[in-house]
Amino acid sequence: MSQQNSSGNRDGSAGAANTGPPHSAPAKPIQIKVVLLGDAAVGKSSLVLRFVNDEFQENKEPTIGAAFLTQKVRLDDTVLKLDLWDTAGQERFHSLAPMYYRNAQAAVVVYDITRAQSLDRAKSWIKELQRQAKPNIVIALVGNKLDLVADQENEEAEDADADADADADADADTDAEHTTATEGKERQVQTSTARAYAEESGLLFLETSAKTGEGVVETFTEIAKKLDLNQIASNNQAARPGQLNSGSANVNFLSEGSQSEQRNTDGCAC
């Protein structure tokens, strides 16, 4: 009987198809595994939260272990399902990282443009990826927290007055105690330096702000563009059943599509 029950999945698949345009063979989304790496507090979780929920939290708690989120995106005519592994930057979780990047097709390595050290950390992640991850992994180097210096840079450019209160409405200073205060933040990593490094190492390079959203969607779009989607799609199909993760593409897809269709009364299987 449990066999029959599992044919509920087939119903689900029909349901999923119904949500797409009739008959035009709704392309199954291409599943892409993306891992985020980088030093603690550079904004990995914030970037993911901005990308997935379009939200920002001023005092995001440090990630424990790793968080897994998914987001579907459309690139031209292709639907992509991004499986995002948001890893913890804290040192004690370092040894777990290979588990997350091992199968990843793409990696977002994040640093904080106001903290030079975090770029060093990013570089060592990139080295590790180049040694140990899939050989054709697409890596994006991302300098985050652009909003912290954007005003300064504009003001400098415009030779404006040094009125530090200009952006007082930007955020609630009161509960910013854990983050470093907004004012007095200076860029420690020049765009040109990081870009040069990225080009030399064959990486995508972007600067972002999880707070304003600047560059966030672009990061994932750039990655998607650089990926060999045809290759991935055919690999996904060919994935052997024994492999970690092989079955889950189906399950995610089906259960999402079939939610509304499913009206099984809880039939007893025995």
Which residue ranges make up the site for ligand GTP (CB under 6 A)?
Answer: 38, 40-46, 57-60, 62-63, 88-90, 144-145, 147-148, 179, 209-211
Q: How far apart are CA 85 and CA 103, in angstroms?
A: 11
262 contact, one of Mg ion, another protein, ligand GTP, none, CB 5-8 Å limit per kind: another protein
How buried is residue 129: exposed, middle or buried, by Cβ count under 10 Å (0-12/13-18/19+)?
buried
Enumerate residues 52-91 that contact Mg ion by CB under 5 A: 63
CA dist 188 → 115, 117, 233, 243 (Å): 6, 9, 40, 43
- d(CA 251, CA 68) in angstroms, rounded, equals 15
The CB-of-223 to Mg ion minimum distance in angstroms stands at 19
Q: Which residue is nearest to ligand GTP (CB)?
A: 89
- Nearer Cβ to another protein, position 86 or 207? 86
For residue 259, give every residue at least 6 positions away whose Cβ sits within 8 Å of its Cβ, in sequence order, or none: none
Report in angstroms how near the CB of residue 62 gets to another protein at its nearest: 3
- Contact positions toward another protein, by CB under 8 A? 40, 48-49, 52-53, 60-69, 86, 88-92, 96, 99, 244-245, 247-248, 251-252, 255, 259, 262-266
45 binds Mg ion (CB under 5 A): yes
C-beta closer to ligand GTP: residue 90 or 191: 90
The distance of closest approach from Cβ of residue 198 to ligand GTP in the complex, given in angstroms and rounded to an integer, is: 19
CB closer to ligand GTP, 58 vs 261: 58
Taking the C-alpha atoms of residue 118 and residue 198, their distance in angstroms, rounded to an integer, is: 15
Q: Are 90 and 210 in contact (CB under 8 A)?
A: no
In the complex, minimum distance from the CB of residue 20 to ligand GTP, in angstroms, rounded to a whole number: 34
Q: What angle do CA 80, 55, 100 make, to 5 degrees?
A: 50
Residues across the chain:
270
3-state SS track over 85-142: EEECCCHHHHHHHHHHHCCCCEEEEEEECCCHHHHHHHHHHHHHHHHHCCCCCEEEEE
Q: Which residues pair with 107 in a beta bridge?
A: 35, 139
Contact of residue 234 among Mg ion, another protein, ligand GTP, none (CB under 5-8 Å per partner type): none
139 binds, among another protein, ligand GTP, Mg ion, none (CB under 5 to 8 A by kind): none
Nearest residue (CB) to Mg ion, 44 versus 185: 44
Cβ 249 to ligand GTP shortest distance, Å: 26
- Contact positions toward Mg ion, by CB under 5 A? 44-45, 63
